[in-house]
């Protein structure tokens, strides 16, 4: 096979980056400028032109899928198979290193990787042990505090204890780590943390790895957190030549500790680093780029970048205001179908992006009804289904007898007569014997005196017997056979297939899992479990097949599509309600919008609605167009005018909005199931609700007893308006507008 000329068709700066001499190098460039392309070609260049052995190269990508694509791309560029490259996400690479070096950091080489759900259940246990379980939302809050600390490399001992809250977190953090360690498990953050500790505390090992990985390349560097940054520095060494590419305007993972200032930090840690800027955009035409620039330029404290494309002309951005989320979904589906019928695009050229996963539901329903093929990325991925997690918990419990979280999950699933009391007793007994639940279970079988009644004892013993058999078979049996045996012995299929349609679906999911497991052949169980644990949402997406792609804005990072829809451009959604308070978070919402816009090659559609159905159903809340829409120069757009937020805030009657829409929009899909009346109209107005639309989310109010607060949400229940209000002193309350003694406060 012939090698493609690596530098053909590239611009000067791109070539400079690809062929940069081996010193620390930082490529900062806007979207679509070929950052990923450059990084990929540099790897190919190192191997193909400079003769660097592949095993000396580590390339870090943001997802496993990106890693796979990079590997393939490099092989295509070089015209041959290349073995030995280390390409993967930080987490995957760290997991691999830790399996090998476990002993040096005091962990088991067969550690289990805990996901967020497992983490939460550990936090719950920790809280219960410490007697801190009063609040319902506490576990999540503690977990996020703990995770933030870990991302900053702060150990439980080093956690600040300045105030009561800190001291509580520190306590829980400490217990949480102890529970993890007892379960021989690591959470996602630990993968990074232990790797950093490994290299920081063991000079000899560090030198070995530094010598091996002469070339370290990192994509999406703006979304690294402190632990990841530290890892790069430790692995590269002070004299090393890390090659990092990123765009500070595309940093969108602050919530999990990412900090785009790592780009600046890199420059100060490597003062001699070569800085390369790529200026030309090869993805989008100028209209899209002008809009994107207009959005991002409003962010404070940034270096302005010009985005330049040789494609000066292109379709204007289509803005579309819809009456509600149903209409929005129908508009999207109709528009895509039109484009495909007219042969302008294939389904796979189109992507629909949204801020929150919850928004995908309405879209999915509409795609199904219209018979338009689609693939949803993320959301409720296969591996997070209940039935799948149950079975994986069996496998994990077989693999790792210390894994108490998994054992608790399966101990009475399917129900086998082991209830709360028995579980509590078992826990107490195990604790007294200083054993894991599984080990205690095993001890039970050998006739140890125990506190259990005959019935409970029988149930426990039979589970213990099964686990014993499986553990003995583990290494001699392919995963598929093992899983088949678990299904047989536990009668799991009968348990989930209850005759309902949901039951059938669960059954199919399990059968699918069995097929996947059987396809693993003789792969060690531990490895299979690790792969599953580190799967990301985009990873499960295969690009073959012709379907529209539905995905969150976060998942869209790094991707590109000819046609992009961004839906739900409303205040409270984008920017998200949770981000409105904080300047930094608001800036990140803006970057999210920017990332979305710059995914489009040819055509952008931006939609928003006047009313969106909220959580509990009902008629939904009124919504306002996103502030970001106002920042796009009108000459770049066609379609609905963007309503001024200040003006629309003065609306009091909702009916006028609804009448403004054509009674039967041209783009409404004919539906067989619900022909004439497409969706419930608003209830007839009566006197007692004429004042109701005074309240909208964001409005500040004063309650005679509860004091000042802010409206979070409003919906209609039995003709009255029900308000969710967050009071400064009393937290979230749900009140009826008609009876609550409320006054509105002026904004600003």
Q: Are 578 and 356 in contact (CB under 8 A)?
A: no
C-alpha separations of 257 from 61, 140, 146, 148, 228 in Å: 17, 16, 11, 6, 10
Q: Which is nearer to ligand ATP, 245 or 613 (CB)?
A: 245
Which residue's CB is nearer to ligand ATP, number 282 or number 347? 282
Nearest to 231 by CA among 115, 146, 151: 151
Q: Which is nearer to DNA, 91 or 305 (CB)?
A: 91
Alpha helices (H) in 49-89, listed in sequence order: 64-78
Asked whether position 480 contacts ligand ATP by CB under 6 A, the answer is: no
At closest approach, how far in Å is the CB of 168 from ligand ATP? 41
The helix (H) or strand (E) run that includes residue 671 is: none
Cβ burial, residue 83 (10 Å; 0-12/13-18/19+): exposed
Judged by CB under 6 A, which of 2, 8, 9, 21 binds ligand ATP? 9
Contact 575/298 with Cβ under 8 angstroms?
no
| Interface stretch with ligand ATP, choices 9-17, 461-469, 569-577, 722-730 (CB under 6 A) | 9-17
Comparing CB distances to DNA, the nearer of 407 and 482 is 407
Q: Among ligand ATP, DNA, none, what binds residue 558 when CB lies within 5 to 8 Å by partner kind?
A: ligand ATP
Q: Where are the beta strands (DSSP E) in 578-670?
A: 600-614, 617-622, 637-639
Q: Which residue has 């399990």 as its token pair?
A: 510
Gap between the Cα atoms of 113 and 93, Å rounded: 14
Q: Which is nearer to DNA, 31 or 378 (CB)?
A: 378
Q: How far is the CB of 635 from DNA (least distance, A)?
A: 31
Q: Are 412 and 584 in contact (CB under 8 A)?
A: no
For ligand ATP, the closer of residues 9 and 131 by Cβ is: 9
| Residue 11 binds ligand ATP, judged by CB under 6 A | yes
Enumerate the β-bridge partners of residue 374. 548
Q: Which does 673 bind (CB under 5 to 8 A by kind): ligand ATP, DNA, none?
A: none
| Distance (Å) of CA 737 to CA 184, 655, 712 | 52, 19, 13
Six token digits for residue 466: 């099964």
- Angle at the Cα of 418 (from 415 to 420), degrees rounded to 5? 110
Beta-strand (E) ranges in 662-706? 700-703
* DSSP one-letter code for 250: G
Least separation, in Å, of the C-beta of 279 and DNA? 29
| Interaction between residue 482 and ligand ATP (CB under 6 A) | no
Residue 247 binds ligand ATP, judged by CB under 6 A: yes
Per-position x/- string for 522-561, each x denoting binding to ligand ATP as judged by CB under 6 A, each - no binding: ------------------------------------x-x-
Rounded to whole angstroms, how far apart are CA atoms 364 and 27? 39
- Decide: is 35 part of the binding site for ligand ATP (CB under 6 A): yes
Find the helix or strand (DSSP H, E) in which 711 lies. strand 707-717
Cα–Cα distance, 482 to 313 (Å, whole number): 59
Q: Which of 32, 88, 442, 643 binds ligand ATP (CB under 6 A)?
A: 32
Which listed option, DNA, ligand ATP, none, makes contact with residue 541 (CB within 5 to 8 Å by class)? Answer: none
Q: Choose from DNA, ligand ATP, none: what does 226 bind? Cβ within 5-8 Å by kind.
A: none
| Residue 460 touches ligand ATP, criterion: CB under 6 A | no
Nearest residue to 577 (alpha-carbon basis) of 727, 356, 730, 377: 356
Per-residue exposure over 655-676, b if at least 16 CB sit within 10 Å of its own CB, e if not: eebeeeeeeeeebebeeeeeee
- Closest to DNA by CB, 241 or 360: 360
115 binds, among ligand ATP, DNA, none (CB under 5 to 8 A by kind): DNA
Which residue is nearest to ligand ATP, using beta carbons?
A: 34
Distance CA 515, CA 391 (A): 13
Query: Hey, which residues between 578 and 637 contact ligand ATP (CB under 6 A)?
Result: 598
The window from 10-18, 95-103, 379-387, 464-472 that contacts ligand ATP (CB under 6 A) reads 10-18
Nearer to ligand ATP, 396 or 591 (CB): 591
Q: Which of 33, 112, 335, 366 binds ligand ATP (CB under 6 A)?
A: 33
Q: Please, which residue, 15 or 465, has the CB nearer to ligand ATP? A: 15
DSSP string, 302-334: ------B-S----PPEEEEEEEEHHHHHHHHHH
Strands annotated E in 131-265: 185-187, 215-218, 243-246
Kindly tell me which of 273 and 430 has the beta carbon lying closer to DNA.
430
Question: C-beta of 137: minimal distance to DNA in Å?
Answer: 4
Partner from ligand ATP, DNA, none binding residue 260, C-beta < 5-8 Å depending on class: none
- Strand duo 707-717 + 700-703: pairing: antiparallel
Question: Minimum distance from CB of 594 to ligand ATP (Å)?
Answer: 10
Interaction residues for ligand ATP, span 684-743 (CB under 6 A): none
Which residues contribute to the site for DNA (CB under 7 A)? 62-63, 89-92, 115-117, 120-121, 124, 133, 136-137, 140, 188-189, 252-253, 255-256, 355-358, 361, 378, 386, 412, 415-422, 453, 456, 534, 536-538, 552, 554-555, 576, 578-579, 585, 615-617, 732
CA–CA distance, 740 with 726 (Å, rounded to integer): 14
Active site residues: 35-36, 219-220, 250, 599
Place of tokens 């990106």: 66
CA distance linking residue 118 with residue 404, whole number of Å: 10
What count of other Cβ atoms lies within 10 Å of the Cβ of residue 210? 18
Of DNA, ligand ATP, none, which one sits near residue 282, judging by CB under 5 to 8 A according to partner kind? ligand ATP
Binding-site partner at residue 36 among ligand ATP, DNA, none, CB < 5 to 8 Å by type = ligand ATP
Least distance (Å) between residue 405 CB and DNA: 11
- Positions 271 through 290 that interact with ligand ATP (CB under 6 A): 282-283
Q: Are strands 617-622 and 600-614 parallel, antiparallel or unpaired?
A: antiparallel
Q: Is residue 31 a contact residue for ligand ATP (CB under 6 A)?
A: yes
Binding footprint of ligand ATP on the chain (CB under 6 A)? 9-11, 14, 29, 31-37, 247, 250, 282-283, 558, 560, 598
């Amino acid at each position: 096979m012939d090698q493609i000329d690596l530098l053909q068709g590239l611009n000067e700066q791109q070539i400079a980056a690809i062929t940069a001499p081996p010193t620390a190098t930082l490529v900062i460039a806007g979207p679509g400028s070929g950052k990923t392309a450059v990084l990929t070609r540099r790897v190919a260049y190192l191997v193909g032109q400079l003769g660097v052995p592949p095993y000396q190269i580590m390339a870090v990508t943001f997802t496993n899928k990106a890693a796979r694509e990079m590997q393939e791309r490099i092989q295509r560029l070089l015209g041959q198979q290349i073995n030995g490259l280390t390409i993967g996400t930080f987490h995957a690479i760290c997991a691999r290193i830790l399996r090998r070096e476990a002993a040096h950091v005091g962990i088991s080489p067969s550690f289990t990787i805990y996901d967020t759900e497992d983490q939460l259940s550990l936090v719950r246990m920790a809280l219960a042990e410490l007697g801190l379980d009063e609040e319902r939302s506490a576990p999540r809050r503690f977990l996020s505090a703990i995770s933030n600390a870990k991302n900053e490399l702060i150990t439980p001992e080093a956690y600040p204890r300045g105030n009561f809250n800190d001291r509580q977190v520190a306590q829980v953090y400490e217990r949480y780590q102890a529970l993890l360690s007892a379960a021989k498990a690591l959470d996602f953050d630990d993968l990074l943390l232990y790797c950093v500790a490994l290299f920081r505390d063991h000079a000899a090992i560090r030198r070995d790895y530094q010598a091996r990985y002469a070339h370290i390349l990192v994509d999406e560097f703006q979304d690294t957190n402190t632990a990841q940054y530290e890892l790069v520095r430790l692995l590269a060494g002070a004299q090393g030549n890390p090659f990092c590419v990123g765009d500070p305007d595309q940093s969108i993972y602050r919530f999990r500790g990412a900090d785009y200032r790592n780009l600046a930090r890199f420059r100060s840690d490597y003062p001699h680093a070569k800085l390369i800027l790529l200026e030309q955009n090869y993805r989008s035409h100028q209209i899209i780029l002008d809009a994107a620039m207009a959005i991002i330029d409003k962010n404070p404290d940034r270096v302005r970048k010009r985005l330049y494309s040789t494609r000066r002309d292109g379709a204007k951005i289509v803005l579309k205001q819809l009456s509600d989320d149903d209409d929005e979904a129908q508009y999207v589906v109709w528009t895509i179908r039109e484009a495909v019928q007219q042969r302008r695009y294939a389904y796979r050229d189109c992507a629909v992006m949204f801020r929150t996963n919850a928004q995908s539901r309405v879209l999915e329903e509409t795609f199904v009804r219209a018979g338009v093929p689609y693939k949803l990325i993320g959301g409720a991925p296969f591996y997070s289904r209940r039935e799948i997690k149950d079975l994986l918990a069996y496998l994990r419990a077989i693999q790792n007898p210390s894994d108490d979280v998994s054992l608790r999950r399966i101990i009475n699933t399917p129900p086998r007569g082991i209830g709360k009391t028995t579980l509590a007793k078992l826990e107490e007994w195990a604790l007294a014997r200083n054993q894991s639940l599984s080990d205690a279970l095993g001890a039970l079988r050998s006739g140890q005196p125990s506190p259990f009644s005959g019935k409970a004892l029988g149930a426990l013993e039979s589970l213990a017997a099964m686990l014993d058999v499986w553990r003995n078979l583990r290494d001699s049996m392919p995963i598929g056979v093992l899983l088949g045996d678990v299904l047989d012995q536990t009668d799991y299929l009968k348990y989930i297939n209850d005759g309902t349609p949901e039951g059938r679906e669960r059954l199919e999911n399990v059968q699918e899992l069995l097929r996947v497991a059987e396809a693993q052949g003789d792969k060690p169980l531990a490895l299979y479990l690790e792969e599953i644990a580190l799967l990301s949402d985009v990873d499960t997406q295969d690009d073959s097949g012709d379907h529209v792609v539905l995905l969150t804005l976060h998942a869209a990072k790094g991707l590109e599509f000819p046609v992009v829809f961004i839906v739900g451009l409303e205040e409270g959604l984008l920017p998200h309600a949770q981000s409105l308070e904080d300047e930094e978070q608001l800036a990140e919402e803006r970057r999210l919008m920017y990332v979305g816009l710059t995914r489009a090659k040819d055509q952008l559609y931006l939609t928003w609605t006047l009313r969106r159905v909220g959580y509990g159903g009902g008629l939904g809340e009124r919504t306002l167009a996103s502030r970001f829409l106002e920042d796009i120069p009108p000459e770049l757009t066609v379609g609905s005018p963007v309503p001024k937020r200040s003006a629309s805030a003065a609306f009091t009657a909702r009916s006028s909005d609804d009448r403004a829409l054509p009674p039967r929009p041209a783009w409404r899909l004919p539906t067989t199931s619900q022909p004439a009346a497409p969706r419930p109209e608003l209830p007839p107005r009566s006197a007692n609700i004429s004042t109701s639309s005074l309240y909208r989310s964001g409005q500040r109010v004063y309650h005679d007893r509860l004091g000042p607060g802010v409206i979070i949400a409003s919906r209609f229940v039995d003709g009255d308006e029900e308000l969710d209000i967050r009071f400064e002193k009393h937290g979230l309350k749900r009140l009826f507008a008609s009876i609550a003694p409320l006054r509105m406060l002026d904004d600003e």
